[in-house]
Copies of this chain bind each other. A is one copy, B any other.
Amino acid sequence: MVVILKEQYNQAQLDNLVDWLKSMEIEIHFSEGMKHTILGLVGDTSSVDIDLIKALDIVEEVKRIQEPYKNANRKFHPADTEVVIDSAQGISIGNGSFQLIAGPCSVESEEQICAVAESVKKSGATILRGGAFKPRTSPYAFQGLRGDGIRLLLEAKKLTGMPIVSEIMDISQLSLFADVDVIQVGARNMQNFELLKELGHSRKPILLKRGLANTLQELLMSAEYIMAGGNDNVILCERGIRTFETYTRNTLDISAIPALKAMTHLPVIIDPSHATGISRMVMPMSLAATAAGADGLIIEVHNDPAHALCDGPQSLTPEGFAEVADAVRNILPYSHGRMAK
């Protein structure tokens, strides 16, 4: 971290700052320029609050050189992390392992979730997704089957052998997720820090979605909350960010893939269904994500389009999903291994 002092500064305040930094075991290297004195801070500055230093009267500017994330930082862990989902079946994500995750937006019935599970498995999906707890903008909208939804997902898992991923919305729901293979933290909870801390004490894989208006560094800081608790099994997921564009529901940030690949060793998957909100855009965005080096895709699939009033416009039919899976498989060999880190 580099701190640039104002041209005129109060020596007592500088002494104050120096004492405080030393108390955090930061070494300070002074450099007197023509106009400005520059302080180079050496040591573990990840716990130094850059805003607090900026706030001081004597400080002109502060510039962080080291990233504030450690466990998630590729600089300190150059090798790709591979998160194991099901070791018996050899299903993992990252470090060259690519997985297709598919399933309905909401779990509605045993019949529905089992039918979708069997069909997407046939097309090549290896992990089943399904929402039991649904974060909805309106308190009057369907909030999911909750505990019952988890139970139905476990039935589908028993039937098909597919590991399952579902979203948690509050710490109090954690006990229900004992047999869920991957716990998803939704975009709106990306900075629910108490929840992240709790998940840090688990050893389950966590699928962490980027918030709608969050930077990649903020996403990594949230991953860091989980990893700081000892849980390194974090899968990052880009699912669209809020922009001024209204044609799509959100804007899928495909460049997040190579950017995150450079910043971190954690695997990165893409959710083209929620990002676009339009089923016919799932194909091109799945291909784009694969070509850009994603470690997996999480795609919404419903089973009965004629009656599926509760499935969003972003859901594919099983046939549509099969086409996407085929196309992704074709393009995969031409994309991987080309990406610079």
- What B residues does A197 contact at CB under 8 A? 139
Q: Beyond A40-B34, A338-B284, A339-B284, is A61–B51 a contact (Cβ under 8 Å)?
A: no
Number of identical protomers: 4
CB closest chain-B residue, reference A31: B31
A102 on the B face (CB < 8 A): no
C-alpha spacing A243/B245, complex, angstroms: 11
Docked-complex contact B285 and A255, CB < 8 angstroms = yes
The distance from the CB of A289 to the nearest CB of chain B, in whole angstroms, is 7
Q: Which of B47, B60, B248 makes the CB contact (< 8 A) with A141?
A: B47
Top-9 shortest CB links A-B: A55-B313, A213-B213, A31-B31, A47-B140, A291-B291, A287-B291, A170-B194, A288-B288, A280-B340
Docked-complex contact B291 and A331, CB < 8 angstroms = yes
Docked-complex contact A330 and B334, CB < 8 angstroms = yes
A215 on the B face (CB < 8 A): yes
Q: Which of B172, B256, B307 makes the CB contact (< 8 A) with A171?
A: B172
Q: Given contact pairs A51-B313, A255-B284, A334-B334, enumerate 15 new A-B contacts (beta carbons under 8 Å).
A: A2-B2, A4-B63, A31-B31, A31-B33, A33-B40, A36-B65, A47-B140, A68-B138, A137-B218, A139-B225, A188-B191, A216-B247, A251-B255, A254-B285, A284-B292
The distance from the CB of A144 to the nearest CB of chain B, in whole angstroms, is 11
Q: Beyond A334-B327, A340-B283, is A65–B60 a contact (Cβ under 8 Å)?
A: yes
Q: Which of B139, B225, B247 makes the CB contact (< 8 A) with A263?
A: B247
